[in-house]
Amino acid sequence: MHHDLALQQMSEDDDRSPPLDLRCASINKTRNCSGGISASGSSTSSSSSSSSSIPVPVPIPITEYQSPYPDQVLENVLENVLHFLTSRRDRNAASLVCKSWWRAEAMTRSELFIGNCYAVSPHRATRRFRRVRALVLKGKPRFADFNLMPPDWGAHFTPWLSVMATAYPLLEKVCLKRMSVTDEDLQLLAESFSGFKELMLVCCEGFGTNGLAFIASKCRQLRVLDLIETEVTEDEVDWISCFPEGETCLESLIFDCVECAINSEALEKLVARSPSLKKLRLNRNVSIGQLYRLMIKAPQLTHLGTGSFSSLEGDPELDYVSAFAACKSLVCLSGFREIIPDYLPAIYPVCANLTSLNFSYANITAEQLKPIISNCYKLQIFWVLDSICDEGLQAVAATCKELRELRVFPINAQEDVEGPVSEIGLQAISEGCRKLQSILYFCQRMTNAAVIAMSKNCPDLEVFRLCIMGRHRRDHVTGEPMDEGFGAIVMNCKKLTRLAVSGLLTDRAFSYIGKYGKLVRTLSVAFAGDSDTGLKYVLEGCPRLQKLEIRDSPFGDAALQSGLHHYYNMRFLWMSSCRLTHRGCHEIARAMPRMVVEVIRFEGEEVIDEYVETLYMYRSLEGPRHDAPEFVTILRADG
């Protein structure tokens, strides 16, 4: 499935523990908050707010702070013990105990997670953490996926790579999300790290098959090459043929998002000489006939993306059923990009083993789904198009008692069309899938009653994202706003950490979120709320809030002011098409010198009135970035 454990960790938010705050650096300028330990040149790993401290302008070398009675044995023991500490939150906590723990932790942290590439500089990160083997780096905010951010905003991988090329020669693994990556970057990466093993690029862009060719040909130890929802330009390079001859170490090859033709003969040979290959996700240029030939060479696969799942002219009629039957270890199935439903029965042999099934590109009906889903009793993750209608969801609810994650995407992503799924499907899922933890549901109409039912039936919900596509839609049965439904979710789902709201919502809905959403870390708001009060409820009520993304909602400067106590604890705040003024944003910048306050406008447009088109702000140890394009204005604290 898309979300391996590593990716799940990537999408998790920051600390659960109450953070140390950078507040004292700014609000209480007279008070010197630097204690003896924290005033050293320690820098914050931008992943967490708990290891914050006030950075001094000149980094102080660690050797100056040796304790008067060095206990080398204790340090060695500590380093050995810390090797077992893998969670970054635990490590952040450990690093705050005292200076020697800070040092030991810094020397033993092997996976570096940077949640915002601009919160800390590559130099600062590499100076503190000396022995990093794996890097996870995230760039643009999520709303960039929906064209709300102009291209070329930033998040370039190059500066990170150029520093790490010398700082981390033993680097093995790089995971990037929403970063801009070039072919030259991929070339440098391939040439700099002789032991490089894993590359995962999620929602990235800026490179082409040229770059992939470098990776394929030069990374002799490559185990994982995963391209997930990433744009790859077609340079007409046959990158598959660039893998070296002989047996490979490949365990995972995921390229279902790559919109280029593939040399299928070269791919067959590659698969045949990759005995460790467990995950293979093909793009939609691979026909079902080609899929067959690949499958019979790799019956050991656990994760398969089937490509187009339709036939080309000249594809013989093959025994697809037996090809699937031979894959006894298959647990995760996706693809079906241009599905011919007649071929669906081929997957019957694997249904009973599937824990993850992605039909979100398959335009199939309820009738076509039922024979499949009725055998998928182990299914935990299911992505699907709303073409299956409420009836299809009822079939899912009837069988998939182990379902943890459901995503229902719209086949017709427009407002004001007749939608095939509704509150009926949601209700059915809530009644049948009691173990549900995560849901993303696109629909045209909904009722509070169904949402309330889900809040009661699915107490394990951690992620609730409901997108009623018509803006400002009411409960279509009662005519009420959707306040009570979302209120019930925050009230009843005690584990809720991520929430996306939609439909007609008044400030009341936000009062519920502020009152009950104590664990909420990520909140997405669009076309909702009545006044500043709504946002105030959230900023004042949600202590764990890390990521707040808001668009087209009537929140203004006063609301923005109400979050001053909290912004240093957050990864970012995004507000576009709201009622913020330049003056209001300037005030924030003045009050919070360690926030980078970006005002983004589109395409050199002049200001309309005094309102800000987009505010994107985030904490940073580095101050304003130097690579901001001309349509980004970074407001200065002294400005």
Partner 1 sequence: MERLVKYESDDLNLKATELRLGLPGSDEPEKFSSRSNKRASPEISQESKSNSSVSYGGNDERDSAPPAKAQVVGWPPIRSYRKNTLQAKKNESDGAGMYVKVSMDGAPYLRKIDLKVYKCYLELLKALENMFKLTIGEYSEREGYNGSEYAPTYEDKDGDWMLVGDVPWNMFINSCKRLRIMKGSEAIGLGCA
Binding site for partner 1 (CB under 8 A): 143, 145-148, 203, 229, 231, 257, 284, 337-338, 360-361, 363, 385, 387, 409-417, 442, 467, 469, 471, 524, 526-527, 551-552, 577-579, 602, 605, 608-609, 611, 613
What letters, b where the CB count within 10 A reaches 16 and e where it falls short, cover 169-201?
Answer: eebbbbbbbbbbbbbebbbbbbebbeebbbbbb
Q: How far is the CB of 205 from partner 1 (least distance, A)?
A: 10
CA dihedral over 158, 159, 160, 163, signed as positive or negative: positive
Whichever of 237 and 385 has its CB closer to partner 1, that residue is 385
Q: Which of 357, 2, 375 is nearest to 203 (CA)?
A: 2
Q: Name the CA dihedral angle for 161, 165, 169, 175, rounded to a multiple of 10 degrees.
A: 10
Gap between the Cα atoms of 177 and 229, Å rounded: 10
Q: How far is the CB of 625 from partner 1 (least distance, A)?
A: 24
Whichever of 415 and 540 has its CB closer to partner 1, that residue is 415
Q: How far is the CB of 350 from partner 1 (least distance, A)?
A: 24
Check residue 206 and report its DSSP letter: S
Three-state helix/strand/coil letters over 310-362: CCCCCCCCCCHHHHHHCCCCCCEEECCCCCCHHHHHHHHHHHCCCCEEEECCC
Q: How far is the CB of 412 from partner 1 (least distance, A)?
A: 3
Gap between the Cα atoms of 345 and 322, Å rounded: 11
Q: How far is the CB of 488 from partner 1 (least distance, A)?
A: 23
Whichever of 363 and 374 has its CB closer to partner 1, that residue is 363
Half-sphere exposure of 19 (CA within 13 A, CB side): 28
Judge whether 195 and 225 are in contact, CB under 8 Å.
Answer: no
Three-state helix/strand/coil letters over 519-537: CCCEEEEECCCCCHHHHHH
Whichever of 37 and 440 has its CB closer to partner 1, that residue is 440
Whichever of 202 and 331 has its CB closer to partner 1, that residue is 202
Q: For residue 606, how many other CB atoms are within 10 A of its CB?
A: 5
CA distances from 390 to 335, 410, 628 (A): 23, 13, 46
Whichever of 202 and 277 has its CB closer to partner 1, that residue is 202
Q: How far is the CB of 203 from partner 1 (least distance, A)?
A: 8
Whichever of 469 and 617 has its CB closer to partner 1, that residue is 469
Judge whether 466 and 500 are in contact, CB under 8 Å.
Answer: yes
Whichever of 98 and 312 has its CB closer to partner 1, that residue is 312
Q: How far is the CB of 574 from partner 1 (least distance, A)?
A: 12
Q: How far is the CB of 611 from partner 1 (least distance, A)?
A: 5
Q: How far is the CB of 524 from partner 1 (least distance, A)?
A: 8
Q: How far is the CB of 423 from partner 1 (least distance, A)?
A: 17
Whichever of 243 and 527 has its CB closer to partner 1, that residue is 527
DSSP letter string, 214-276: HHHHH-TT--EEEEES--EE-----GGGGSPSS-----EEE-TT--S---HHHHHHHHHT-TT
Whichever of 386 and 462 has its CB closer to partner 1, that residue is 386
Judge whether 564 and 540 are in contact, CB under 8 Å.
Answer: no
Q: How far is the CB of 587 from partner 1 (least distance, A)?
A: 18
Whichever of 447 and 524 has its CB closer to partner 1, that residue is 524
| Long-range Cβ contact pairs of 320-327 (< 8 A, separation 24 or more) | 320/288, 320/292, 320/346, 321/345, 321/346, 321/348, 321/349, 323/291, 323/292, 323/295, 323/296, 324/295, 324/348, 324/349, 324/350, 325/349, 325/350, 326/295, 326/296, 326/299, 327/295, 327/299, 327/300, 327/301
Q: How far is the CB of 87 from partner 1 (least distance, A)?
A: 30
Whichever of 381 and 469 has its CB closer to partner 1, that residue is 469
Backbone angles phi, psi at 135, to 5 degrees: -125, 130
- Cα angle for residues 324, 326, 332 (degrees, 5° grid): 55
Whichever of 349 and 419 has its CB closer to partner 1, that residue is 419
Phi-psi group of 311: left, alpha or beta (phi > 0 → left; psi -120 to 50 → alpha; rest → beta): beta
- Cα angle for residues 524, 411, 180 (degrees, 5° grid): 55
Q: How far is the CB of 31 from partner 1 (least distance, A)?
A: 40
Backbone angles phi, psi at 132, to 5 degrees: -90, 135
Whichever of 145 and 319 has its CB closer to partner 1, that residue is 145
Q: How far is the CB of 89 from partner 1 (least distance, A)?
A: 29
